[in-house]
Structure 1
Amino acid sequence: MLTLLLLAAALITWPHLEPIRRLRPRGKREVVVPKYLWLVAAAAVAYLTTGIGGLVAAAVLAATARAVLKQHKENKARTAATEALSDGLGGVIDELRAGAHPAQAAEGAAQDTPAPAGEVLKAAAATSRLGGDITRTLTELDQPLLKPAVAQLAKAWHVSAKHGVALADVLDATRRDLDQRAAFARQVHARMAGPRASAAVLAVLPVFGVLLGEISGAKPFHVLTGTTAGQCLLVLGAVFLAAGLWWTKRITEVEP
């Protein structure tokens, strides 16, 4: 009861942001709340409603959700970067077969290729123009999203320089391989939509189980938040749920 009264008082005394925005400069009238304040508020609510066990369980689930979302964004960005590099290599190959110098071909293709793939082609063009070691430049290039693709590109350039194979043909083989890897990653992602949805439903089922128990009068929420055994079970259940979500993420996605 006291907690509800405190929350009601906080809502009543919550400051209006419109006067603060008017006093700010025209370009900076949006009030940005620091992320750590939201984190502290969420932790306080979790502790007041579910105890220390609920706080630990919420922290475990939040960390897992953040890691899963971050990994998903990285895989998506990696696929897009790989496809961009493949398109850029297509431009390089066309220029080479038209008789252009490798530096000129890579520089021309880099202008129409978005980062970070464009940065790879620019580095290759600059090194080729100066007569440097392109294989070494690409190997030492720091591009986390394109690390496997850049390593493969460096090997292709090395094969062309060492064995005298036409650079356009070697780069064309590399481009086809990158296309196949990106297409395979997208195909796996699309086919795993069903299993991911099933995993999401299974992850939410414990919450509905607790709600159903409350409706039927079993009072599982009181057991989970008001007893030592319930607090331990709450943390253990969150750990198992987080492990299941992470494992599902690992087996339903593939890196390009």
Structure 2
Amino acid sequence: MLSLLLVAAALLVWPQLKPLRRLRPAGKGEIVVPQWLWLIAAVTVTYLAAGVGGLIAGSVLAVVIYRIIKQGRRNRALRTATEALSNGLGGVVDELRAGAHAATAAEGAAQDTPAPAAEVLKAAAATARLGGDVERTLRDLRQPVLGTAVDQLAKAWHVSAKHGVALADVLDATRLDLDQRAAFARQVHARMAGPRASAAVLAGLPVFGVLLGELSGARPLHILISTTAGQFLLVLGALFLAAGLWWTKRITEVEP
């Protein structure tokens, strides 16, 4: 227990690197270590410390955690971009109802809209100004973040062009739908904070169990690292843990 307290105290007083980087002389550049070198070092250390089973288990957990973090960042970027596009469409609707041309309205709204939603509005404005097919332009845009929202916007433009419905009305309906989807995604994300925290605590319990076993003298690390059965159990436990983390991520997240 004393060793754990010492490690926690060391982490609390560990120096921050950002102030040191700010105080570095301007003439001295920062040494950048390639990511593949860090990967090779991590694989080597894991293999030497935990064997083949530890390497497989660490790789499985690392891949799943990386995918979870990447998916979380993508969902946050999608929510932000959807809200930005909705706000931009609100500006387009206001300009259209004031009597502005579609190209002028979209171009004006794009100036106050952050990327990547601004790119969508600029593409629509440029095509409308030239008298082109805005629906095809939006479908060919292949926006990686706002793919579903852009397709929905293209359908709205198609309805207006084919059936003569006022463009302001269909864009306003699209804006309302995007608002509702973004609000629902934010609500689900906020309400699932508790279950996500509980899942993180449960995922860490096996690690604490192994540490407690070591402190009590049961030597579980010796079994997991030095025996064939332990190596198999280490991989099996990592697979179950990774599956649980990924499933928790899937059921507690929703895309706008």
TM-score by length of 1: 0.89
1:82 counterpart residue number: 82
> Shift of the alpha carbon at 1:221?
0.5
Amino acid aligned to 2:200: A
State the percentage of identical aligned residues: 76
Q: For 1:145, what is the secondary structure of its paired residue?
A: coil
Counterparts of 1:13-32 in structure 2 under 5 Å?
Answer: 26=27, 29-32=29-32
> Shift of the alpha carbon at 1:207?
0.5
- CA RMSD of superposed structures (Å): 1.4
> Shift of the alpha carbon at 1:34?
1.2
Q: Are 2:140 and 1:171 equivalent residues in the alignment?
A: no
2:97 & 2:33 partners in 1: Cα distance? 55
> Shift of the alpha carbon at 1:152?
0.7
1:235 counterpart residue number: 235
Counterparts of 1:1-256 in structure 2 under 5 Å?
Answer: 26=27, 29-256=29-256
2:191 & 2:37 partners in 1: Cα distance? 39
1:208 & 1:109 partners in 2: Cα distance? 53
Q: Spell out, residue by residue over 1:48-106, the C-alpha distance to the aligned partner (whole angstroms, 9 max, x if none).
A: 11111111111111111100000000000001000000010011011101100000100
Amino acid aligned to 1:223: I
Q: Spell out, residue by residue over 1:175-226, the C-alpha distance to the aligned partner (whole angstroms, 9 max, x if none).
A: 0100000000000000000000010001000001111111222211100000
Q: For 1:96, what is the secondary structure of its paired residue?
A: helix
Q: For 2:87, what is the secondary structure of its paired residue?
A: helix
TM-score by length of 2: 0.89
Which deviates further from its counterpart, 30-39 or 168-177? 30-39
1:158 & 1:207 partners in 2: Cα distance? 56
> Shift of the alpha carbon at 1:166?
0.8
Which blocks of at least 5 consecutive residues in structure 1 are unaligned?
Answer: 1-17
2:49 & 2:31 partners in 1: Cα distance? 29
Amino acid aligned to 1:31: I
Following TM superposition, the consecutive aligned residue runs of length 4 or more in structure 1 with deviations greater than 4 angstroms are none
Q: How many residues align?
A: 234
Amino acid aligned to 1:50: A
1:148 & 1:45 partners in 2: Cα distance? 43
Q: For 2:100, what is the secondary structure of its paired residue?
A: coil
Which blocks of at least 5 consecutive residues in structure 2 are unaligned?
Answer: 1-20
Amino acid aligned to 1:74: R
